Structure formats: structure tokens, C-alpha cells
């Protein structure tokens, strides 16, 4: 049996086409099972003055979030802040960056640090 370049090309082409069809089907199945609606949080939703949930009304709020910074009221310290997807990044002058996962839950800012500790803050009106 003599194999020509044309028949070899046809065999490779059919094998690749079958693999692509399986790959496309697998991607569609994954897409159907993984899609989870996620509400979009804008930086403007985070803007404002926040205090830890349950804190006495007479105590100072904890921080103020602006579009590009966070101001810690008790420490009179302003640090750069960026948000990306579900994370808040706070940039310290020493070069250290602290990351929090966050979400807004009925007006409460829920932040989890990388050690999985949860912090809940209420917006000060």
C-alpha cells in the first residue's frame, strides 16, 4: 500500500477536524455549566465613608473610599486604591500591596482578606 502526500494530508485534516469538533462541544458544555450571573460593582458604588458594622455611632468612621484612594480617618493616612473584578488593592508607601475580595450585600461592604477573615462595613449617611 502506497501512501501519497495527498492521502496523508487528508488523514491529518480529518483527524484535526474531529478533534476541533470535540473541543468545541466540550467548550460549549463548560460554558453552560460555568456561567454564573454576577452583579457589576462600580467604583462609584464604593465611594463614601464607611464604618465597621456594629460600631458605636459616636465613634469615628473607619475610612473613606474615593475613586482612586482610601483615607483612613483615625490614622490621617491616604493610600492608593484600585479595584479589579472582585478585588480591592491598597498600595502602601513601602511597596506592600494588600488585597481584599469584596462584594456589596444590601448596602454592606463585605471584604475578605487573603487569610479569609471577613470584615463588614456600613456606609455612613
What pLDDT digit, counting tens, does each position of 62-84 carry?
A: 999 999 999 999 999 999 999 99
Q: What is the pTM of this model?
A: 0.64
Residue 15 banded pLDDT, cuts 50, 70, 90 = low
Q: pLDDT tier at 4 (50, 70, 90 boundaries)?
A: low
Structural contact between residues 90 and 80, judged by C-beta atoms closer than 8 angstroms: yes
Q: State whether CATH 2.40.128 applies to domain 43-123.
A: yes
Q: Angle at the Cα of 9 (from 4 to 15), degrees rounded to 5?
A: 130
Domain ranges (residues) in the chain:
1-36, 43-123
pLDDT on residue 107: 85
pLDDT band for position 101 (50/70/90)? Answer: very high
Q: pLDDT (tens digit, 9 = 90+) per residue, 22-45?
A: 444 544 544 444 443 444 556 678
CA–CA distance, 50 with 63 (Å, rounded to integer): 6
Amino acid at each position: 500500500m502506497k501512501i501519497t502526500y495527498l492521502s496523508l494530508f487528508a488523514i491529518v485534516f480529518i483527524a484535526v477536524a474531529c478533534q476541533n469538533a470535540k473541543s468545541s462541544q466540550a467548550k460549549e458544555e463548560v460554558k453552560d455549566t460555568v456561567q454564573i450571573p454576577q452583579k457589576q460593582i462600580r467604583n462609584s458604588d464604593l465611594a463614601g465613608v464607611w464604618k465597621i458594622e456594629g460600631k458605636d455611632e459616636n465613634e469615628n468612621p473607619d475610612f473613606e473610599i474615593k475613586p482612586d484612594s482610601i483615607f483612613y480617618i483615625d490614622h490621617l493616612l491616604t493610600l492608593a486604591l484600585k479595584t479589579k473584578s472582585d478585588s480591592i488593592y491598597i498600595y502602601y508607601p513601602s511597596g506592600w500591596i494588600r488585597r481584599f475580595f469584596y462584594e456589596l450585600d444590601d448596602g454592606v461592604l463585605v471584604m475578605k482578606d487573603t487569610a479569609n477573615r471577613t470584615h463588614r462595613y456600613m456606609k455612613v449617611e
